[in-house]
Structure 1
Amino acid sequence: MAFRDLLLHIDTYPTPTPEAVIEEAVLLAASLGDKVTGLAFEIEIAVHSNRLADYLIGLSAMAAAEESRSSQACQDVLGHFIGRARDAGVYKDAISAKANHYDVAGKVARVARTYDLCLLPLVDGPNGQLDIAQSVIFESGRPILTFRPGTAAALTQGPKEVVVAWDGSRNAARALADALPILVRAKHVRILTVLNEKPGVLSTTGAQAQRHLAAHGVNTTLDEVDAGGEAIGPAFDRYLDGTAPNLLVMGAYGHSRTQEFLLGGATQHMLARPGCPVLLSH
Protein backbone atom coordinates (compact mmCIF):
# COMPACT_ATOMS: atom_id res chain seq x y z
CA MET A 1 0.00 0.00 0.00
CA ALA A 2 1.49 3.35 -1.04
CA PHE A 3 0.70 6.75 -2.47
CA ARG A 4 1.31 6.20 -6.18
CA ASP A 5 0.36 9.64 -7.45
CA LEU A 6 1.50 12.72 -5.50
CA LEU A 7 1.04 16.41 -6.29
CA LEU A 8 3.37 19.16 -5.09
CA HIS A 9 2.24 22.78 -5.31
CA ILE A 10 5.09 25.27 -5.79
CA ASP A 11 4.65 29.03 -5.38
CA THR A 12 5.83 31.57 -7.93
CA TYR A 13 4.46 34.90 -6.65
CA PRO A 14 5.15 37.18 -4.92
CA THR A 15 8.04 35.06 -3.58
CA PRO A 16 8.94 31.75 -5.26
CA THR A 17 9.22 28.65 -3.10
CA PRO A 18 12.91 28.42 -2.10
CA GLU A 19 14.99 25.73 -3.81
CA ALA A 20 15.84 24.09 -0.48
CA VAL A 21 12.13 23.69 0.30
CA ILE A 22 11.48 22.12 -3.12
CA GLU A 23 14.31 19.67 -2.42
CA GLU A 24 12.83 18.83 1.00
CA ALA A 25 9.42 18.24 -0.59
CA VAL A 26 10.90 15.96 -3.26
CA LEU A 27 12.66 13.88 -0.60
CA LEU A 28 9.37 13.70 1.29
CA ALA A 29 7.57 12.56 -1.86
CA ALA A 30 10.23 9.91 -2.45
CA SER A 31 9.76 8.54 1.07
CA LEU A 32 5.97 8.46 0.86
CA GLY A 33 5.10 7.43 -2.66
CA ASP A 34 5.96 6.41 -6.16
CA LYS A 35 5.81 9.45 -8.45
CA VAL A 36 5.23 13.17 -7.93
CA THR A 37 3.93 15.92 -10.22
CA GLY A 38 4.94 19.54 -9.69
CA LEU A 39 2.31 22.27 -10.15
CA ALA A 40 3.04 25.99 -10.48
CA PHE A 41 0.97 28.92 -11.74
CA GLU A 42 2.01 31.98 -13.70
CA ILE A 43 0.12 34.88 -12.15
CA GLU A 44 -2.10 37.10 -14.28
CA ILE A 45 -2.92 40.57 -12.94
CA ALA A 46 -6.15 42.09 -14.18
CA VAL A 47 -5.80 45.83 -14.69
CA HIS A 48 -8.93 47.83 -15.44
CA SER A 49 -8.38 50.50 -18.05
CA ASN A 50 -7.34 53.70 -16.29
CA ARG A 51 -5.58 56.29 -18.38
CA LEU A 52 -4.83 58.51 -15.40
CA ALA A 53 -3.18 55.68 -13.45
CA ASP A 54 -1.18 54.65 -16.51
CA TYR A 55 -0.10 58.26 -17.01
CA LEU A 56 0.85 58.87 -13.38
CA ILE A 57 2.39 55.58 -12.29
CA GLY A 58 2.43 53.31 -15.34
CA LEU A 59 -0.02 50.83 -13.79
CA SER A 60 -0.31 48.60 -16.87
CA ALA A 61 3.47 48.41 -17.24
CA MET A 62 3.83 47.53 -13.55
CA ALA A 63 1.31 44.71 -13.91
CA ALA A 64 3.08 43.40 -17.00
CA ALA A 65 6.41 43.43 -15.16
CA GLU A 66 4.96 41.46 -12.24
CA GLU A 67 3.43 38.91 -14.62
CA SER A 68 6.79 38.53 -16.34
CA ARG A 69 8.48 38.03 -12.96
CA SER A 70 5.98 35.30 -12.06
CA SER A 71 6.39 33.64 -15.46
CA GLN A 72 10.17 33.47 -15.04
CA ALA A 73 9.79 32.18 -11.49
CA CYS A 74 7.43 29.47 -12.75
CA GLN A 75 10.05 28.27 -15.22
CA ASP A 76 12.77 28.39 -12.57
CA VAL A 77 10.94 26.53 -9.78
CA LEU A 78 9.60 23.84 -12.11
CA GLY A 79 13.03 23.42 -13.67
CA HIS A 80 14.55 22.92 -10.23
CA PHE A 81 11.76 20.53 -9.28
CA ILE A 82 12.23 18.46 -12.45
CA GLY A 83 15.96 18.09 -11.85
CA ARG A 84 15.61 17.08 -8.21
CA ALA A 85 12.66 14.75 -8.81
CA ARG A 86 14.51 12.98 -11.63
CA ASP A 87 17.58 12.61 -9.43
CA ALA A 88 15.37 11.00 -6.76
CA GLY A 89 13.67 8.73 -9.30
CA VAL A 90 10.16 10.06 -8.54
CA TYR A 91 9.50 12.51 -11.38
CA LYS A 92 6.19 12.08 -13.17
CA ASP A 93 5.20 15.45 -14.65
CA ALA A 94 5.43 19.22 -14.31
CA ILE A 95 2.32 21.34 -14.84
CA SER A 96 2.31 25.08 -15.44
CA ALA A 97 -0.78 27.17 -16.06
CA LYS A 98 -1.93 30.76 -15.82
CA ALA A 99 -4.28 32.05 -13.15
CA ASN A 100 -5.42 35.27 -11.55
CA HIS A 101 -3.65 35.66 -8.21
CA TYR A 102 -6.96 35.29 -6.35
CA ASP A 103 -7.95 32.13 -8.28
CA VAL A 104 -4.83 30.05 -7.56
CA ALA A 105 -6.21 28.38 -4.42
CA GLY A 106 -9.33 27.10 -6.15
CA LYS A 107 -7.38 25.89 -9.16
CA VAL A 108 -4.90 23.97 -7.02
CA ALA A 109 -7.85 22.27 -5.30
CA ARG A 110 -9.37 21.24 -8.63
CA VAL A 111 -6.10 19.77 -9.87
CA ALA A 112 -5.59 17.93 -6.56
CA ARG A 113 -8.87 16.01 -6.95
CA THR A 114 -7.23 13.33 -9.06
CA TYR A 115 -4.10 12.78 -6.94
CA ASP A 116 -3.59 10.53 -3.93
CA LEU A 117 -2.08 13.27 -1.80
CA CYS A 118 -1.20 16.95 -2.17
CA LEU A 119 2.07 18.16 -0.64
CA LEU A 120 2.04 21.82 0.36
CA PRO A 121 5.02 23.56 2.00
CA LEU A 122 3.98 26.44 4.27
CA VAL A 123 6.68 29.08 3.78
CA ASP A 124 6.55 32.25 5.88
CA GLY A 125 5.65 35.33 3.90
CA PRO A 126 2.80 36.85 1.88
CA ASN A 127 2.30 33.99 -0.59
CA GLY A 128 -1.05 32.87 0.79
CA GLN A 129 -0.33 29.16 1.23
CA LEU A 130 -2.83 29.06 4.09
CA ASP A 131 -5.56 30.00 1.62
CA ILE A 132 -4.36 27.28 -0.73
CA ALA A 133 -4.20 24.72 2.08
CA GLN A 134 -7.72 25.57 3.18
CA SER A 135 -9.03 25.35 -0.38
CA VAL A 136 -7.40 21.96 -1.04
CA ILE A 137 -8.65 20.57 2.29
CA PHE A 138 -12.28 21.56 1.81
CA GLU A 139 -12.68 21.54 -1.97
CA SER A 140 -10.50 18.76 -3.39
CA GLY A 141 -11.89 15.72 -1.55
CA ARG A 142 -8.31 14.51 -1.14
CA PRO A 143 -5.87 14.65 1.80
CA ILE A 144 -3.16 17.26 2.14
CA LEU A 145 0.24 16.95 3.79
CA THR A 146 1.64 20.28 4.86
CA PHE A 147 4.90 21.21 6.57
CA ARG A 148 7.08 24.12 7.56
CA PRO A 149 10.56 24.16 5.96
CA GLY A 150 13.01 22.08 7.93
CA THR A 151 10.38 20.06 9.81
CA ALA A 152 10.03 17.16 7.34
CA ALA A 153 13.59 15.84 7.54
CA ALA A 154 12.75 13.01 9.97
CA LEU A 155 9.75 11.93 7.91
CA THR A 156 11.86 11.76 4.73
CA GLN A 157 13.71 8.87 6.40
CA GLY A 158 10.43 6.96 6.73
CA PRO A 159 7.61 7.24 9.27
CA LYS A 160 8.74 6.30 12.73
CA GLU A 161 6.55 7.95 15.38
CA VAL A 162 3.12 9.05 14.07
CA VAL A 163 0.30 10.61 16.08
CA VAL A 164 -3.33 10.23 15.03
CA ALA A 165 -5.68 12.78 16.61
CA TRP A 166 -8.88 10.82 17.22
CA ASP A 167 -12.26 11.99 18.51
CA GLY A 168 -14.46 9.41 16.79
CA SER A 169 -15.82 11.92 14.26
CA ARG A 170 -16.38 11.47 10.53
CA ASN A 171 -13.47 13.79 9.70
CA ALA A 172 -11.12 11.87 11.99
CA ALA A 173 -12.22 8.62 10.35
CA ARG A 174 -11.51 10.06 6.91
CA ALA A 175 -8.03 11.14 7.99
CA LEU A 176 -7.35 7.72 9.50
CA ALA A 177 -8.28 6.00 6.23
CA ASP A 178 -6.38 8.47 4.05
CA ALA A 179 -3.24 8.10 6.16
CA LEU A 180 -3.28 4.30 6.16
CA PRO A 181 -0.46 3.95 3.57
CA ILE A 182 1.77 5.81 6.04
CA LEU A 183 0.44 4.21 9.21
CA VAL A 184 1.09 0.65 8.06
CA ARG A 185 4.76 1.57 7.52
CA ALA A 186 5.22 3.47 10.78
CA LYS A 187 7.29 1.94 13.54
CA HIS A 188 4.80 3.16 16.11
CA VAL A 189 1.48 5.00 16.08
CA ARG A 190 0.00 6.94 18.99
CA ILE A 191 -3.77 7.48 19.03
CA LEU A 192 -4.40 10.79 20.79
CA THR A 193 -7.75 11.59 22.39
CA VAL A 194 -8.28 15.02 23.96
CA LEU A 195 -10.78 14.88 26.82
CA ASN A 196 -12.91 17.69 28.26
CA GLU A 197 -12.65 19.77 25.12
CA LYS A 198 -15.78 18.77 23.21
CA PRO A 199 -18.91 16.78 24.16
CA GLY A 200 -19.06 13.05 23.47
CA VAL A 201 -15.32 12.36 23.55
CA LEU A 202 -14.75 9.75 26.26
CA SER A 203 -11.78 7.83 27.61
CA THR A 204 -12.92 4.82 25.56
CA THR A 205 -13.15 6.77 22.27
CA GLY A 206 -9.79 5.63 20.89
CA ALA A 207 -10.39 1.89 21.36
CA GLN A 208 -12.15 1.35 18.03
CA ALA A 209 -9.46 3.21 16.10
CA GLN A 210 -6.90 1.00 17.83
CA ARG A 211 -8.87 -2.11 16.88
CA HIS A 212 -9.04 -1.04 13.23
CA LEU A 213 -5.33 -0.29 12.98
CA ALA A 214 -4.49 -3.58 14.69
CA ALA A 215 -6.39 -5.35 11.89
CA HIS A 216 -3.86 -3.78 9.51
CA GLY A 217 -0.91 -4.86 11.65
CA VAL A 218 -0.24 -1.39 13.05
CA ASN A 219 1.34 -1.18 16.50
CA THR A 220 -0.47 1.50 18.53
CA THR A 221 -0.58 3.15 21.94
CA LEU A 222 -3.64 4.95 23.31
CA ASP A 223 -2.83 8.38 24.76
CA GLU A 224 -5.26 10.74 26.48
CA VAL A 225 -4.81 14.43 27.23
CA ASP A 226 -7.12 16.38 29.49
CA ALA A 227 -7.70 19.82 27.98
CA GLY A 228 -9.14 20.99 31.29
CA GLY A 229 -11.56 23.26 29.49
CA GLU A 230 -8.90 25.26 27.62
CA ALA A 231 -8.58 25.57 23.86
CA ILE A 232 -7.44 22.45 22.03
CA GLY A 233 -4.46 24.14 20.36
CA PRO A 234 -2.35 24.53 23.53
CA ALA A 235 -3.30 20.97 24.56
CA PHE A 236 -1.95 19.71 21.21
CA ASP A 237 1.21 21.77 21.61
CA ARG A 238 2.05 20.34 25.02
CA TYR A 239 1.47 16.79 23.85
CA LEU A 240 3.44 17.14 20.61
CA ASP A 241 6.33 18.85 22.40
CA GLY A 242 6.55 15.81 24.66
CA THR A 243 6.27 13.13 21.97
CA ALA A 244 8.07 14.86 19.03
CA PRO A 245 6.38 12.79 16.29
CA ASN A 246 7.41 12.68 12.62
CA LEU A 247 3.82 13.29 11.55
CA LEU A 248 0.43 14.31 12.94
CA VAL A 249 -2.71 12.91 11.28
CA MET A 250 -5.97 14.71 11.97
CA GLY A 251 -9.39 15.47 10.56
CA ALA A 252 -9.90 19.04 9.33
CA TYR A 253 -12.85 20.95 10.70
CA GLY A 254 -14.66 23.93 9.29
CA HIS A 255 -18.01 25.27 8.20
CA SER A 256 -19.13 27.39 5.29
CA ARG A 257 -20.43 30.91 5.71
CA THR A 258 -21.39 32.66 2.47
CA GLN A 259 -19.18 30.24 0.52
CA GLU A 260 -16.16 30.92 2.75
CA PHE A 261 -14.88 28.17 5.02
CA LEU A 262 -14.13 29.11 8.59
CA LEU A 263 -11.58 26.79 10.14
CA GLY A 264 -12.16 24.99 13.40
CA GLY A 265 -9.83 25.77 16.30
CA ALA A 266 -7.59 22.72 16.03
CA THR A 267 -7.29 22.96 12.23
CA GLN A 268 -6.49 26.65 12.31
CA HIS A 269 -3.95 26.18 15.07
CA MET A 270 -2.07 23.35 13.35
CA LEU A 271 -2.01 25.12 9.98
CA ALA A 272 -0.75 28.33 11.55
CA ARG A 273 2.11 26.76 13.50
CA PRO A 274 2.78 23.13 12.66
CA GLY A 275 5.81 21.89 14.56
CA CYS A 276 5.84 18.72 12.47
CA PRO A 277 4.31 17.70 9.12
CA VAL A 278 0.51 17.40 9.33
CA LEU A 279 -1.75 15.22 7.18
CA LEU A 280 -5.27 16.67 7.08
CA SER A 281 -8.46 15.30 5.57
CA HIS A 282 -12.03 16.53 5.49
Structure 2
Amino acid sequence: MSEIQSHGRLPVAPNSPVLRINMPVRDILLQIDTYPDATPTEALDQAVRFTAAVGGVLSALAVEVDIQAPKNPLADYLIGLSQMALEEEQKSRRFCAAALEAFASRAGEAGVLGEVIHGKADLYAVGAYVAERSRTRDLCIVPVVDQFDGQRSVVEAVVFGSGRPVLTFRPGVADLPVGGLGTIVLAWDGSRTAARAMADALPVMQTAREVRVLTVTNEKPSAHSGVGTEVARHLAAHGVNAVVEEVDAGGRRIGMVLEESLAEHRPDLLVMGAYGRSRAREFILGGATEHMLRNPKVPLLLSH
Protein backbone atom coordinates (compact mmCIF):
# COMPACT_ATOMS: atom_id res chain seq x y z
CA MET A 1 0.00 0.00 0.00
CA SER A 2 1.39 3.37 -0.93
CA GLU A 3 1.75 6.06 1.72
CA ILE A 4 -0.23 9.24 1.21
CA GLN A 5 0.89 12.29 3.18
CA SER A 6 -1.33 15.26 3.82
CA HIS A 7 -0.62 18.22 6.06
CA GLY A 8 -4.20 19.48 5.95
CA ARG A 9 -6.90 19.07 8.55
CA LEU A 10 -8.65 15.74 8.98
CA PRO A 11 -12.28 15.75 7.86
CA VAL A 12 -14.82 16.31 10.63
CA ALA A 13 -18.40 15.16 10.35
CA PRO A 14 -21.02 17.93 10.39
CA ASN A 15 -22.23 18.89 13.86
CA SER A 16 -19.70 16.55 15.48
CA PRO A 17 -18.12 17.82 18.70
CA VAL A 18 -14.50 18.98 18.55
CA LEU A 19 -12.25 17.28 21.08
CA ARG A 20 -9.47 19.60 22.19
CA ILE A 21 -6.47 17.50 23.12
CA ASN A 22 -4.13 20.33 24.10
CA MET A 23 -4.69 21.66 27.57
CA PRO A 24 -3.56 25.19 28.39
CA VAL A 25 -0.83 25.88 30.93
CA ARG A 26 -3.37 26.80 33.54
CA ASP A 27 -2.14 25.45 36.88
CA ILE A 28 1.36 26.86 37.57
CA LEU A 29 3.48 26.53 40.70
CA LEU A 30 6.17 29.03 41.70
CA GLN A 31 8.86 27.78 44.06
CA ILE A 32 10.12 30.46 46.45
CA ASP A 33 13.54 30.05 48.04
CA THR A 34 13.87 30.88 51.75
CA TYR A 35 17.41 29.85 52.67
CA PRO A 36 20.00 31.21 53.00
CA ASP A 37 18.27 34.15 51.25
CA ALA A 38 14.76 34.74 50.02
CA THR A 39 13.77 34.85 46.36
CA PRO A 40 13.78 38.56 45.38
CA THR A 41 10.50 40.31 44.70
CA GLU A 42 11.69 41.00 41.15
CA ALA A 43 11.46 37.27 40.48
CA LEU A 44 7.96 37.15 41.94
CA ASP A 45 6.89 39.99 39.67
CA GLN A 46 8.27 38.26 36.58
CA ALA A 47 6.54 34.98 37.40
CA VAL A 48 3.24 36.80 37.91
CA ARG A 49 3.54 38.63 34.57
CA PHE A 50 4.45 35.42 32.71
CA THR A 51 1.45 33.62 34.19
CA ALA A 52 -0.84 36.44 33.12
CA ALA A 53 0.64 36.33 29.58
CA VAL A 54 -0.15 32.62 29.15
CA GLY A 55 -3.56 32.85 30.82
CA GLY A 56 -2.69 30.74 33.85
CA VAL A 57 -3.24 30.74 37.59
CA LEU A 58 -0.17 30.92 39.82
CA SER A 59 0.30 29.28 43.20
CA ALA A 60 3.39 29.84 45.35
CA LEU A 61 5.26 27.28 47.43
CA ALA A 62 7.70 28.65 50.02
CA VAL A 63 9.58 25.91 51.84
CA GLU A 64 10.77 26.53 55.38
CA VAL A 65 13.97 24.61 56.01
CA ASP A 66 14.50 22.19 58.88
CA ILE A 67 18.16 22.19 59.92
CA GLN A 68 19.11 19.05 61.78
CA ALA A 69 22.18 20.14 63.73
CA PRO A 70 24.30 17.23 64.97
CA LYS A 71 24.11 16.65 68.71
CA ASN A 72 27.47 17.79 69.96
CA PRO A 73 27.71 19.07 73.54
CA LEU A 74 31.19 20.46 72.94
CA ALA A 75 30.08 22.42 69.85
CA ASP A 76 27.06 23.72 71.76
CA TYR A 77 29.33 24.87 74.58
CA LEU A 78 31.94 26.50 72.31
CA ILE A 79 29.86 28.06 69.53
CA GLY A 80 26.22 27.40 70.42
CA LEU A 81 25.64 25.12 67.42
CA SER A 82 22.08 24.11 68.31
CA GLN A 83 21.08 27.73 68.91
CA MET A 84 22.62 28.78 65.58
CA ALA A 85 20.57 26.13 63.76
CA LEU A 86 17.42 27.29 65.53
CA GLU A 87 18.07 30.91 64.55
CA GLU A 88 18.62 29.93 60.91
CA GLU A 89 15.32 28.02 60.89
CA GLN A 90 13.55 31.06 62.33
CA LYS A 91 15.09 33.24 59.61
CA SER A 92 13.81 30.87 56.93
CA ARG A 93 10.35 30.92 58.54
CA ARG A 94 10.29 34.72 58.45
CA PHE A 95 11.37 34.72 54.80
CA CYS A 96 8.52 32.29 54.04
CA ALA A 97 5.89 34.51 55.60
CA ALA A 98 7.18 37.73 54.03
CA ALA A 99 7.62 36.24 50.54
CA LEU A 100 4.18 34.63 50.51
CA GLU A 101 2.58 37.88 51.64
CA ALA A 102 4.36 39.81 48.87
CA PHE A 103 3.40 37.15 46.33
CA ALA A 104 -0.27 37.14 47.32
CA SER A 105 -0.43 40.90 46.93
CA ARG A 106 1.16 40.91 43.48
CA ALA A 107 -0.67 37.87 42.12
CA GLY A 108 -3.96 39.16 43.48
CA GLU A 109 -3.55 42.52 41.77
CA ALA A 110 -2.75 40.74 38.48
CA GLY A 111 -5.76 38.44 38.80
CA VAL A 112 -3.71 35.22 38.71
CA LEU A 113 -3.67 34.24 42.40
CA GLY A 114 -4.03 30.54 43.14
CA GLU A 115 -2.84 28.95 46.37
CA VAL A 116 -0.35 30.25 48.94
CA ILE A 117 1.53 27.27 50.38
CA HIS A 118 3.90 27.36 53.37
CA GLY A 119 5.80 24.06 53.35
CA LYS A 120 8.58 22.62 55.45
CA ALA A 121 11.36 20.20 54.54
CA ASP A 122 14.81 19.12 55.59
CA LEU A 123 17.48 21.50 54.28
CA TYR A 124 18.89 18.81 51.99
CA ALA A 125 15.49 17.57 50.76
CA VAL A 126 13.93 20.82 49.54
CA GLY A 127 14.32 19.81 45.88
CA ALA A 128 12.61 16.46 46.42
CA TYR A 129 9.79 18.17 48.31
CA VAL A 130 9.21 20.69 45.52
CA ALA A 131 9.33 17.90 42.91
CA GLU A 132 6.61 15.99 44.75
CA ARG A 133 4.39 19.07 45.00
CA SER A 134 4.94 19.79 41.29
CA ARG A 135 3.53 16.48 40.04
CA THR A 136 -0.02 17.81 40.03
CA ARG A 137 0.81 21.08 38.25
CA ASP A 138 1.08 21.98 34.57
CA LEU A 139 4.38 23.77 35.12
CA CYS A 140 6.79 24.61 37.94
CA ILE A 141 8.68 27.91 37.86
CA VAL A 142 12.03 27.92 39.70
CA PRO A 143 13.94 31.24 39.80
CA VAL A 144 17.73 30.98 40.11
CA VAL A 145 19.41 34.15 41.41
CA ASP A 146 22.98 32.92 40.90
CA GLN A 147 24.72 29.63 40.31
CA PHE A 148 25.73 29.29 43.96
CA ASP A 149 22.37 29.84 45.67
CA GLY A 150 21.29 26.17 45.75
CA GLN A 151 18.35 26.68 43.40
CA ARG A 152 20.18 24.83 40.64
CA SER A 153 19.73 21.62 42.64
CA VAL A 154 16.01 22.35 42.98
CA VAL A 155 15.73 22.75 39.19
CA GLU A 156 17.40 19.38 38.64
CA ALA A 157 15.29 17.65 41.29
CA VAL A 158 12.05 18.91 39.76
CA VAL A 159 13.11 18.21 36.16
CA PHE A 160 14.08 14.61 36.88
CA GLY A 161 11.71 13.87 39.75
CA SER A 162 8.37 15.51 39.03
CA GLY A 163 7.43 14.26 35.56
CA ARG A 164 6.39 17.83 34.76
CA PRO A 165 8.11 20.67 32.83
CA VAL A 166 10.18 23.26 34.65
CA LEU A 167 10.62 26.92 33.72
CA THR A 168 13.76 28.45 35.17
CA PHE A 169 15.11 31.98 34.77
CA ARG A 170 17.68 34.28 36.32
CA PRO A 171 16.40 37.78 37.20
CA GLY A 172 18.57 40.49 35.68
CA VAL A 173 20.38 38.01 33.42
CA ALA A 174 17.76 35.82 31.76
CA ASP A 175 14.48 37.60 32.50
CA LEU A 176 11.00 36.32 31.81
CA PRO A 177 9.24 38.48 29.17
CA VAL A 178 7.37 41.50 30.47
CA GLY A 179 4.36 41.16 28.16
CA GLY A 180 3.35 38.46 25.71
CA LEU A 181 5.82 35.97 24.28
CA GLY A 182 7.65 37.02 21.14
CA THR A 183 10.03 34.35 19.86
CA ILE A 184 10.43 30.84 21.28
CA VAL A 185 13.24 28.53 20.18
CA LEU A 186 12.62 24.78 20.33
CA ALA A 187 15.88 22.81 20.40
CA TRP A 188 15.14 19.69 18.35
CA ASP A 189 17.38 16.65 17.93
CA GLY A 190 14.74 14.04 17.15
CA SER A 191 15.03 12.36 20.55
CA ARG A 192 12.35 11.16 22.96
CA THR A 193 13.35 13.86 25.43
CA ALA A 194 12.99 16.59 22.80
CA ALA A 195 9.56 15.21 21.88
CA ARG A 196 8.52 15.39 25.52
CA ALA A 197 9.71 19.00 25.74
CA MET A 198 7.80 19.92 22.57
CA ALA A 199 4.58 18.38 23.89
CA ASP A 200 4.93 20.03 27.31
CA ALA A 201 5.66 23.44 25.78
CA LEU A 202 3.01 23.31 23.05
CA PRO A 203 0.40 25.38 24.95
CA VAL A 204 3.06 28.04 25.61
CA MET A 205 4.24 28.02 21.98
CA GLN A 206 0.65 28.62 20.88
CA THR A 207 0.79 32.01 22.62
CA ALA A 208 4.06 33.12 20.95
CA ARG A 209 4.45 35.41 17.97
CA GLU A 210 7.16 33.22 16.42
CA VAL A 211 8.52 29.70 16.99
CA ARG A 212 11.87 28.57 15.60
CA VAL A 213 12.75 24.87 15.47
CA LEU A 214 16.53 24.67 15.81
CA THR A 215 18.50 21.53 14.95
CA VAL A 216 22.26 21.34 15.44
CA THR A 217 23.46 18.87 12.79
CA ASN A 218 26.65 16.78 12.82
CA GLU A 219 26.49 16.63 16.59
CA LYS A 220 24.55 13.38 17.17
CA PRO A 221 23.07 10.79 14.74
CA SER A 222 19.42 11.60 15.48
CA ALA A 223 19.91 15.31 14.69
CA HIS A 224 20.28 14.92 10.93
CA SER A 225 19.33 17.37 8.19
CA GLY A 226 15.58 17.56 7.61
CA VAL A 227 14.59 16.16 11.01
CA GLY A 228 12.78 19.41 11.88
CA THR A 229 10.33 19.19 8.97
CA GLU A 230 7.99 16.83 10.78
CA VAL A 231 8.11 19.09 13.83
CA ALA A 232 6.87 22.01 11.74
CA ARG A 233 4.06 19.83 10.36
CA HIS A 234 3.02 18.76 13.85
CA LEU A 235 3.10 22.30 15.22
CA ALA A 236 1.10 23.58 12.24
CA ALA A 237 -1.61 21.02 13.06
CA HIS A 238 -1.92 22.81 16.40
CA GLY A 239 -1.98 26.32 14.97
CA VAL A 240 1.73 27.09 15.41
CA ASN A 241 3.58 28.29 12.31
CA ALA A 242 7.21 27.41 12.90
CA VAL A 243 10.43 28.29 11.10
CA VAL A 244 12.86 25.38 10.73
CA GLU A 245 16.54 26.21 11.15
CA GLU A 246 19.61 23.98 10.91
CA VAL A 247 23.08 24.88 12.14
CA ASP A 248 26.14 22.72 11.51
CA ALA A 249 28.02 22.07 14.75
CA GLY A 250 31.29 22.17 12.84
CA GLY A 251 33.15 20.46 15.66
CA ARG A 252 31.89 22.92 18.28
CA ARG A 253 30.17 21.94 21.50
CA ILE A 254 26.40 22.04 21.21
CA GLY A 255 26.09 24.49 24.11
CA MET A 256 28.18 27.04 22.26
CA VAL A 257 26.13 26.58 19.06
CA LEU A 258 22.89 27.12 20.97
CA GLU A 259 24.34 30.18 22.65
CA GLU A 260 25.30 31.73 19.29
CA SER A 261 21.82 31.13 17.90
CA LEU A 262 20.20 32.69 20.97
CA ALA A 263 22.42 35.74 20.60
CA GLU A 264 21.30 36.10 16.97
CA HIS A 265 17.55 35.68 17.44
CA ARG A 266 17.20 36.94 21.04
CA PRO A 267 14.19 34.74 21.91
CA ASP A 268 12.05 35.08 25.01
CA LEU A 269 12.32 31.39 25.81
CA LEU A 270 14.36 28.28 24.94
CA VAL A 271 12.55 24.94 25.07
CA MET A 272 14.74 21.86 25.32
CA GLY A 273 14.83 18.33 26.64
CA ALA A 274 16.92 17.84 29.77
CA TYR A 275 19.41 15.02 29.47
CA GLY A 276 20.93 13.26 32.41
CA ARG A 277 21.88 9.90 33.82
CA SER A 278 21.67 8.76 37.41
CA ARG A 279 24.80 7.88 39.34
CA ALA A 280 24.26 7.04 43.01
CA ARG A 281 20.95 8.94 42.75
CA GLU A 282 22.72 12.08 41.58
CA PHE A 283 22.06 13.21 38.04
CA ILE A 284 25.00 13.91 35.77
CA LEU A 285 23.68 16.37 33.23
CA GLY A 286 24.25 16.18 29.50
CA GLY A 287 26.42 18.77 27.77
CA ALA A 288 23.69 21.04 26.39
CA THR A 289 21.61 20.99 29.59
CA GLU A 290 24.63 21.67 31.77
CA HIS A 291 25.84 24.52 29.56
CA MET A 292 22.49 26.29 29.40
CA LEU A 293 21.87 26.00 33.14
CA ARG A 294 25.35 27.24 33.97
CA ASN A 295 25.27 30.14 31.49
CA PRO A 296 21.64 31.09 30.93
CA LYS A 297 21.06 33.72 28.28
CA VAL A 298 17.27 33.32 28.15
CA PRO A 299 14.71 31.55 30.35
CA LEU A 300 14.65 27.77 29.89
CA LEU A 301 11.68 25.46 29.73
CA LEU A 302 13.04 21.98 30.46
CA SER A 303 11.40 18.55 30.27
CA HIS A 304 12.73 15.06 30.81
The bucket for the TM-score relative to the shorter chain is over 0.9
Unaligned residue ranges in structure 2 (runs of 5+): 1-22
- Conserved? CA contact 2:59–2:113, under 8 Å: yes
Find out whether 1:152 has 2:179 as its counterpart: no
In the TM superposition, residue 116 of structure 1 has moved relative to its aligned partner by 0.2
Alignment partner, residue 87 of structure 1: 109
Cα root mean square deviation, aligned: 1.2
Alignment partner, residue 193 of structure 1: 215
Residue 81 of structure 2 is aligned with which of 51, 59, 62? 59
Residue 177 of structure 1 is aligned with which of 187, 191, 199? 199
The CA distance in 1 between the partners of 2:249 and 2:147, in whole Å, is 32
The CA distance in 2 between the partners of 1:125 and 1:80, in whole Å, is 24
Find out whether 1:162 has 2:206 as its counterpart: no
- Conserved? CA contact 1:11–1:127, under 8 Å: no
- Tell me the amino acid that sits aligned with residue 105 of structure 2: G
Unaligned residue ranges in structure 1 (runs of 5+): none
- Tell me the amino acid that sits aligned with residue 212 of structure 2: R
Count matched residues. 281
- Conserved? CA contact 2:140–2:165, under 8 Å: yes
| Residue pairs, 1:201-216, within 5 angstroms | 201-216=223-238
- Tell me the amino acid that sits aligned with residue 253 of structure 1: Y
- Conserved? CA contact 2:188–2:223, under 8 Å: no
In the TM superposition, residue 77 of structure 1 has moved relative to its aligned partner by 0.6
Deviation readout 1:127-172 (Å, 9 max, x if unpaired): 311100001000100000111103335x331111111100110000
Deviation readout 1:7-32 (Å, 9 max, x if unpaired): 00000000111112211111112212
Taking a change above 3 Å as real, the CA distance of residues 125 and 278 of structure 1, as seen in their structure-2 partners, is closer
Task: Report the structure, 1 or 2, having the larger helix content.
Answer: 1
Bigger shift: residues 193-202 or 37-46: 193-202
In the TM superposition, residue 176 of structure 1 has moved relative to its aligned partner by 0.5
In the TM superposition, residue 270 of structure 1 has moved relative to its aligned partner by 1.1
In the TM superposition, residue 125 of structure 1 has moved relative to its aligned partner by 5.8
- Conserved? CA contact 1:26–1:88, under 8 Å: yes
What SS does structure 1 have at the residue aligned with 2:57? Answer: strand
Tell me the TM-score normalised to structure 1 length: 0.97
The CA distance in 2 between the partners of 1:12 and 1:200, in whole Å, is 41
Residue 271 of structure 2 is aligned with which of 234, 249, 269? 249
What SS does structure 2 have at the residue aligned with 1:106? Answer: helix
| Residue pairs, 1:4-153, within 5 angstroms | 4-124=26-146, 126-150=148-172, 151-153=174-176
The CA distance in 2 between the partners of 1:17 and 1:202, in whole Å, is 41
Identity, % of aligned positions: 52
- Conserved? CA contact 1:5–1:33, under 8 Å: no
Runs ≥4 residues deviating over 6 A: none
